[in-house]
Structure 1
């Protein structure tokens, strides 16, 4: 019997183990290596930090960056993602997009995606960034539809995408093979699967109202239906939950039971609000970054509202404060007011705004969300279904139009004068209406901009878009209304 050369066997086995180790290290480095994204400055961290959703909902960054070049015909205009309302300030990625390396750099949205806006103070001036605001110019639905349309486009091929990436910079031969053979096909498949899942309800015909759900339009989102149908796996229903994004300035810290959050007060814990918003942005219970979410929660309690950028008539504002108190506004909207951040029943005579957003969040949805993370350190237990809308604070109200939970009233003047509320107007511009207060909604060129998709046409006759209700102050004289509006500029 031939004697086994044990030394040779050890060398062969050792070589194979070394090769396996090298291959394993290569696979880890190119596909699983995780480089955390965090910034020392709290504002920068809010704008560009990761919330932990890149692995589940991220797109390889080089592919994401190349898409506007590959599929410009699916965007509303020139400028790439900026044409959809994303805000750039000198970086490659816009505010609201984190770029975190998990094998390769991946782009994903963060909290700032829905909470940054701009205002153009003077004609021709550079826009000012309003961090923590409602993303009044952002077309979230348009962004998703662009990604889906590009994934379905015949130009979205391994050759086409790699060539676009090459034009923007260099790829090593190994990285080119990874993109060509793995990342591009997987990204295309994932986007098309997402399209089929989301459009199943987004484009669904709603028998009770006689047509499909309304388009979200600029500054609006149907976040909680998205959660209901795809994270909580509840059956599709006919509810419509499209509403404006909310500003995050000076959010009161969680004091259990004292304050309500979101438009309909569906939760009274700011911690659960922050965590569930991350889940709504694609993070999972296991992937979300608790430290980052906690840091953002603390940032929200400190973030200042932007001051009104124009001159204010001090005497008129002082008179407006008296009107504000006399008319009962302070009781609902001032910190310490009897109904501050309380849920006001929708059947209150002077409220009675559109019911759709409130009715969308059902008791079944609240119970399902409370079960969603059972057995984990998160363990939601404060979700609920309500019968009204929250009396929100008015910090920076000049920069948060259009008004009401669904953004159906363009200016504060129209809010105080229900008889003059327009049936149709346009959303998405960044110029301020200094007299009526809100963003310009009826400029001469808005119809043409709407046809291009650069602003959104808002029709209050569509389901979920009703502009009725909130008639508080409607009985005031014109002078009192103008004084009240002047005062609200100071908030």
Structure 2
């Protein structure tokens, strides 16, 4: 009994020091899944794909628990209780994979583009939520921390020939058109509000879901993490009654801009952002050809000419290292790390960029009318290549051979452009990453490479058009459509649906979504579907049809 009492006293002293005296006592850990792969990672390609899929970029710490990370076991327990309406007897039966799949997180059996020579990765937790157990070196304290990683947004279901999604086979690097970070954040907040103050019930749920939890972790959750969580939820409920002071996005679209503003203290305390504009998640094919990043080209290496052409000879180690430094900074808004932590993980971003030089999306699985490919290739070369890049002559797997880094205005929704103002750029430039990034408010949008476009619906930078067929026919673009857990229309190339006779594009009656859905209304702020019209007005219907067939190859 004395031994137990002393251990409890030691724990209480440890957690008090840990959370009262700050960083010297902070806990840090790394991704368990990546650590299990480390001994087998021999090549840069292998390290790149493993880091992309499971790397934590320093985002698993008690520091990030205050920003973007979550205490994994408490989060799962709260969500499970919320699903069972507080029934502890039913909590153990909750399918955690299915629970997180509703928010667009994948729980696959296989990664389709995983290198054949590497051991299979641990897929027992939702892909894109990296976890690790943080322990103090001396004190009996421990907590399992989870945080989002690259694969949360940049890993897609694979698609069958009929356009139906295969949720058991995932392709790293393709866009997750169903990831719904806003729904995830809202569900977490609601669950914590309801059950976070019921410590006994919540910890009992942890024990039922995770019976292997150590004594040290149970006590750390009880005496350290839960009190802080309860305090935080109470304060946020009082201030703005939500987990974040901004919307985290829509299915397949994220809000990196407001997340960055929040990290840079550009959102006043106690206020909620009323106007947000989202980025539709892109395929990552050929993105290393760019000289700037994001739809607004706001980030570029210092001294970079944003609009100079990129050719193969420019894709050397210097270019990749410069761009990797920019990519590392993305972890500040997306994973909630500090600029110092982001800087320490530039090398991780570099191996990811090197892997992306070899990356290809899933080949289009549907039918392609090959009789139209020559015309489609010619239409692309004459009308699209000057902005989206020149591809080689292959009519099997075209590859980029020159990228113009075009920056300008084609009449698309201006919301994101206007919200990315100079105050954000100035804050980035003034910080530690100013040596790696020259941020600027460009007042324009950057044309991306179109590699992987067939699986990147919905289209335009804000995800406001459901199919490429509709994009090419501006007068037919739907006013509303449903996104999330969708199938693809392999002829129109995009979200499968049907016209409802009232200007909308609604799911087919036989469709059963695998994730939460949401209706997109193009009249909402930042979601306008206008623009990129004159480029298609000059094309005949035959040319549009042929171009669509060619784009299936990219």
TM-score (norm 1): 0.81
Q: Does 1:218 align with 2:251?
A: yes
Deviation (angstroms), 1:425: 0.6
Alignment of 1:59-208 (within 5 A): 59-72=70-83, 79-90=98-109, 91-103=123-135, 104-121=143-160, 122=162, 126-127=166-167, 128-154=169-195, 157-168=198-209, 169-191=211-233, 193=235
Report the equivalent of 1:477: 540
Residue 330 of structure 1, aligned match among 385, 408, 414: 385
User: Would you say the 8 A contact 2:174–2:455 is kept in 1?
Assistant: yes
User: Deviation per CA, 1:137-172, whole angstroms, max 9, x where unpaired?
Assistant: 111100111111111014652212211121122334
Q: What CA distance in whole angstroms lies between the structure 2 residues aligned with 1:240 and 1:145?
A: 16
Alignment of 1:210-359 (within 5 A): 216-233=249-266, 235=268, 239-252=275-288, 259-269=291-301, 270-281=323-334, 282-288=336-342, 289-290=344-345, 291-326=347-382, 328-335=383-390, 340-344=404-408, 346=409, 351-359=410-418
Shift in alpha-carbon separation, 1:297–1:191, aligned structure 2, 3 A: farther
Residue 424 of structure 1, aligned match among 467, 480, 488: 480
SS in 2 for 1:310: coil
SS in 1 for 2:377: helix
Alignment gaps of 5+ in structure 1: 1-15, 205-212
User: Deviation per CA, 1:412-434, whole angstroms, max 9, x where unpaired?
Assistant: 11111000000011111342201
Q: Does 1:370 align with 2:429?
A: yes
User: Would you say the 8 A contact 2:388–2:404 is kept in 1?
Assistant: yes
Q: What CA distance in whole angstroms lies between the structure 2 residues aligned with 1:458 and 1:25?
A: 46
Shift in alpha-carbon separation, 1:137–1:67, aligned structure 2, 3 A: same
SS in 2 for 1:473: helix
Shift in alpha-carbon separation, 1:176–1:49, aligned structure 2, 3 A: same
Deviation (angstroms), 1:244: 1.1
Alignment of 1:386-405 (within 5 A): 386-405=442-461
User: Would you say the 8 A contact 1:408–1:465 is kept in 2?
Assistant: yes
Q: What CA distance in whole angstroms lies between the structure 2 residues aligned with 1:202 and 1:182?
A: 22
Q: What CA distance in whole angstroms lies between the structure 1 residues aligned with 2:293 and 2:145?
A: 31
Shift in alpha-carbon separation, 1:53–1:85, aligned structure 2, 3 A: same
Q: What CA distance in whole angstroms lies between the structure 2 residues aligned with 1:262 and 1:196?
A: 34
Task: State which drifts further: 297-306 or 48-57.
Answer: 297-306
SS in 1 for 2:175: coil
Shift in alpha-carbon separation, 1:146–1:192, aligned structure 2, 3 A: farther
SS in 2 for 1:286: helix
Deviation (angstroms), 1:253: 5.4
Deviation (angstroms), 1:285: 1.8
Q: What CA distance in whole angstroms lies between the structure 2 residues aligned with 1:371 and 1:53?
A: 23
SS in 2 for 1:134: coil
SS in 1 for 2:537: coil
Q: What CA distance in whole angstroms lies between the structure 1 residues aligned with 2:289 and 2:377?
A: 26
Shift in alpha-carbon separation, 1:310–1:218, aligned structure 2, 3 A: same
User: Would you say the 8 A contact 2:15–2:224 is kept in 1?
Assistant: no
User: Would you say the 8 A contact 2:281–2:456 is kept in 1?
Assistant: no
Equivalences, count: 446
User: Would you say the 8 A contact 2:157–2:165 is kept in 1?
Assistant: no
Report the equivalent of 1:52: 58
Report the equivalent of 2:49: 43
Q: What CA distance in whole angstroms lies between the structure 2 residues aligned with 1:234 and 1:264?
A: 20
User: Would you say the 8 A contact 2:298–2:441 is kept in 1?
Assistant: yes
Shift in alpha-carbon separation, 1:429–1:318, aligned structure 2, 3 A: farther
SS in 2 for 1:89: coil
Shift in alpha-carbon separation, 1:332–1:356, aligned structure 2, 3 A: same
Q: What CA distance in whole angstroms lies between the structure 2 residues aligned with 1:295 and 1:338?
A: 23
Structure number with larger C-alpha Rg: 1
Report the equivalent of 1:385: 441
Q: What CA distance in whole angstroms lies between the structure 2 residues aligned with 1:390 and 1:87?
A: 30
Shift in alpha-carbon separation, 1:197–1:224, aligned structure 2, 3 A: farther
Q: What CA distance in whole angstroms lies between the structure 1 residues aligned with 2:14 and 2:195?
A: 35
Report the equivalent of 1:443: 507
TM-score (norm 2): 0.72
User: Deviation per CA, 1:100-154, whole angstroms, max 9, x where unpaired?
Assistant: 2222221111122121221441588733313122221111100111111111014
Report the equivalent of 1:210: none
Q: What CA distance in whole angstroms lies between the structure 1 residues aligned with 2:376 and 2:265?
A: 46
User: Would you say the 8 A contact 1:158–1:185 is kept in 2?
Assistant: no
User: Would you say the 8 A contact 2:285–2:356 is kept in 1?
Assistant: yes
